[in-house]
A and B are shown apart, each in its own frame.
Chain A
Amino acid sequence: MSQEHWHRRILEHRSALFATLTTVCISIGGLVEIIPMFTVGQGHDEVLPEPYTPLEVAGRDIYVREGCMTCHSQMVRPFRDETLRYQGDWSHAVEYSWDRPFLLGSRRIGPDLHRVGGKYSDDWHYRHMKDPRLTDGSIMPAYPWLLEWKIDPDDVKASVVALSRVGTPYTDEDIANVATDLQTQGQGIVGRLGEKGIDAAWDDEIVALIAYLQRLGTDVPKGPVAKAGEVSK
């Protein structure tokens, strides 16, 4: 072939140059989209929420371990049907400030949970995790082992320490008090469960999970928030 195409001469005969240009091409989009997330903020100047308590951290770890986000999203979109269904404001960036990892989810096999905090009582969650058929027609698996397995305060402390290293503002005091905080918050839930005749211990995994679920949706920065206890039935 007498006439060489420029693209062959310049690029396809020079592998290093070809690879370099490819690297440039695949870098631009990511840089343009990701860097501003660190430099220009996310369009909110609200007061940041409190970091998760140690018990909520433990509950969140259980939520991650069991893969709850494969079926439940945590992102109420700004649509009338969603704010009606989930009885609260749509989701704001500031609410996710301490979410590591993020748990927005990609599928609603079950309902969104970003506004679930306060919607049901502690004992409802307890009974529901034991037998999801509490909701007629539910296809959710039961999680009886959460009623038996225990959280390990040392393990939770390791999580809190790692979270503080990546930037969650836990004080040295918070870290020193992990074990007592766990117990104090856990006892509150155990007390409410006891009133309904449920015998639980502060270090049961289910207690930590309930603490986390009841926290969700309580950091809404502004706007109308539905009051707890109102279920659309």
Chain B
Amino acid sequence: MSPTTLPDRPAEGSRTPEYDDTVVKQFVVATVFWAIAAMSVGFILALQLAWWRANPGIPELTFGRLRPVHTNGVVFAFTGNFVFAGIYYSMQRLLKTPMWSRAMSQFHFWGWQAMLVSVVITLPLGMTQSKEYAEMIWPIDLAIAVVFVTFAVNFALTIANRKVQHLYVALWFYISFVITIPVLHVVNNLAIPATLTRSYPVYAGMTDALVQWWYGHNAVGFLLTTPILGLMYYFLPRAAERPVYSYRLSIVHFWALVFLYIWAGPHHLLYSALPDWAQTLGMVFSVMLIAPSWGGMLNGLLTLRGAWDKVRTDPVLKFMAVAVSFYGMSTFEGPMMSIRSVSALSHYTNWVVGHVHSGALGWVGMMGFGTLYWLVPRLWKRPLFSTPLATGHFWLATIGVVLYTVAMWGAGLTEGLMWRALDENGQLQYQFIDTVVAMAPFYWVRLFGGSLYLIGVLIMAFNFTMTVWAQPEADLEPVPAK
């Protein structure tokens, strides 16, 4: 069998192993729930920026306390649950082995949800470590470590127990995710507690900043990128019914990606007081990252060769094709923004916010929706309630991301240029408040784009609810027979 074809078709006459799809269903439901929750908070934040009176004068609901609820919600709740759902579904099939322990899978699921609920409660109460995407207070950090390591052990023992000798490319990316996340989490969160809810990091000043952005950038790399690429390598060929375009390309871009990604963190600290050599390393490795990133994008898009007619009709492939395109776009934009002279303009502006969202909404979100539309009918063994609604969701999401990103480009360039504008006497042309006022129209467009995206998610939730409740049961083979 070629390494580019999925090994999970059951052999003739053999019995399909008893896969644990219960945990997959649980994570799917959680993904939809948290997507709505995290993006609704994003809606509130966008409104607060456009119209400050949306800060209701309640400490727990002010922008500064709410913003990490949104970021952590999208990263760990929406993306985290989606990644776990996809991994539990695909790895059992790729290894022809049920999960090693159902109990550990259940502990993982409920532990993860309990962690998320505690994050949503503590952050608005102002209990925070303040380091971005690592705001959770130390007791929650400990819980995260325990839950994730449980998952990692279950994951490793399932691989050890596998019935297929060869590790398919999707699994490589999962492995890099399972190894790297605990390393990042533990190193960045080393701290001494002062009280039950407050602690101080063992690193100070610029060292703390470097460790944080090593963490922050690689949380993007190893939670929002590599596991999603792994899911792309499973679900895209599955939906397109085509083998992966190039096995060699997947080898080269995998190893290059896992080696190069980890260096790029200092691009968040260009022109800061970080030593120059560290800034330069961050910049150079970020630029180099274009190659393996585009390797993944090309391998994904070229896998669709001969399947473009399906993209026209199948919402799953529509979402995935646009997701991979956004991956290519934002992995070009990111390295460009990591060049010192570009960062001088883009850093601290809305451009960065736009970049993050083209990755999160365009790449992660769209891959998530595509995967969910593929999974739900197969897991619940019912045909999708409405394909036109799914197509509608696709267009709302696409138009939403484009409006969001373009608005933030405009906003970022505007404020970046206004901050640096000097008049003929060499004096500042604008006061800071002028740049704040200039953002208002862009903030409204962003709010509109984000709302379209959120409405799309609500439509998806409705479509899934109707699928599970109102559709007749029909045994859709989880693996389409050939």
A79 to B344, Cβ gap below 8 A? yes
Say if the beta carbon of B300 comes within 8 Å of chain A. no
A18 to B172, Cβ gap below 8 A? yes
Chain A residues, CB < 8 A from B128: 64-65, 67
Min distance, Cβ B69 to any Cβ of chain A, angstroms: 10
B273 to A75, Cβ gap below 8 A? yes
Bound state CA distance, A163 and B57, in angstroms? 32
Say if the beta carbon of B167 comes within 8 Å of chain A. yes
Identify the interface centre among A61, A93, A167: most chain B CB within 10 Å of its CB: A93
Bound state CA distance, A42 and B183, in angstroms? 25
Q: Pick the residue among A68, A82, A95 that contacts B64 (CB under 8 A).
A: A68
B204 to A96, Cβ gap below 8 A? yes
Chain A residues, CB < 8 A from B247: 5
In chain A, what residue has the closest Cβ to B195?
A158
Chain B residues, CB < 8 A from A38: 207
Q: Pick the residue among A93, A106, A111, A155 that contacts B205 (CB under 8 A).
A: A93
Say if the beta carbon of B450 comes within 8 Å of chain A. no
Bound state CA distance, A42 and B269, in angstroms? 14
Min distance, Cβ B221 to any Cβ of chain A, angstroms: 9
A141 to B206, Cβ gap below 8 A? no
A77 to B272, Cβ gap below 8 A? yes
Bound state CA distance, A65 and B59, in angstroms? 10
B126 to A65, Cβ gap below 8 A? yes
In chain A, what residue has the closest Cβ to B127?
A65
Which of B75-83, B101-109, B321-329, B428-436 lies on the face that meets chain A?
Answer: B428-436
A103 to B130, Cβ gap below 8 A? yes
Bound state CA distance, A97 and B204, in angstroms? 6
- Within 82-136 of A, Cβ neighbours of B (below 8 Å) are at 82, 84-85, 91-93, 95-111, 135-136
In chain A, what residue has the closest Cβ to B416?
A108
Bound state CA distance, A103 and B135, in angstroms? 13
Min distance, Cβ B446 to any Cβ of chain A, angstroms: 13
Say if the beta carbon of B462 comes within 8 Å of chain A. no
Say if the beta carbon of A228 comes within 8 Å of chain B. no
A145 to B348, Cβ gap below 8 A? no
- Within 189-227 of B, Cβ neighbours of A (below 8 Å) are at 191-195, 198-212, 214, 218, 222
Chain B residues, CB < 8 A from A98: 204-205
Q: Pick the residue among A12, A69, A105, A162 that contacts B193 (CB under 8 A).
A: A162
A26 to B262, Cβ gap below 8 A? yes
Identify the interface centre among A70, A159, A163, A167: most chain B CB within 10 Å of its CB: A70
A100 to B262, Cβ gap below 8 A? no
Q: Pick the residue among B62, B127, B259, B266 that contacts A28 (CB under 8 A).
A: B259
Bound state CA distance, A70 and B285, in angstroms? 27
B427 to A84, Cβ gap below 8 A? yes
Bound state CA distance, A61 and B281, in angstroms? 33
Say if the beta carbon of A7 comes within 8 Å of chain B. yes
B433 to A135, Cβ gap below 8 A? yes
Say if the beta carbon of B278 comes within 8 Å of chain A. yes
Over the window 384-395 of chain B, the binary record of Cβ atoms lying under 8 Å from chain A Cβ atoms (1 yes, 0 no) is 000000000000
Chain A residues, CB < 8 A from B209: 96, 102, 104
Residues in chain A within 8 A of chain B (CB atoms): 1, 5, 7-8, 12-13, 15, 18-19, 22-23, 25-30, 32-34, 36-38, 42-43, 61, 64-71, 73, 75, 77-82, 84-85, 91-93, 95-111, 135-145, 155, 158-159, 161-163, 165-168, 232-233
- Complex A-B, nearest 8 residue pairs according to Cβ-Cβ distance, in ascending order: A67-B64, A96-B205, A162-B194, A29-B263, A141-B55, A29-B262, A65-B126, A93-B273
Residues in chain B within 8 A of chain A (CB atoms): 1-3, 48-49, 52, 55, 57, 59, 62-65, 67-68, 126-132, 156, 159-160, 162, 165-167, 172, 175-176, 179-180, 183, 187, 191-195, 198-212, 214, 218, 222, 247, 251, 255, 258-266, 268-269, 271-275, 278, 281-282, 285, 344, 347-349, 352-353, 415, 419-422, 426-428, 431-434, 436-437
19 further interface pairs, Cβ-Cβ under 8 Å (given A1-B1, A81-B421, A99-B205): A12-B3, A13-B167, A27-B183, A37-B278, A67-B64, A68-B64, A70-B63, A70-B64, A71-B63, A71-B64, A85-B428, A91-B272, A99-B208, A101-B208, A102-B208, A106-B132, A108-B349, A138-B436, A141-B64
Query: What are 27 A-B interface contacts by the 8 Å CB criterion?
Result: A12-B167, A15-B162, A18-B167, A22-B176, A22-B179, A25-B262, A26-B179, A29-B264, A30-B214, A32-B281, A34-B207, A65-B127, A66-B59, A79-B344, A79-B420, A81-B428, A93-B206, A96-B206, A101-B129, A101-B212, A137-B433, A138-B436, A143-B62, A159-B194, A159-B198, A163-B194, A232-B428
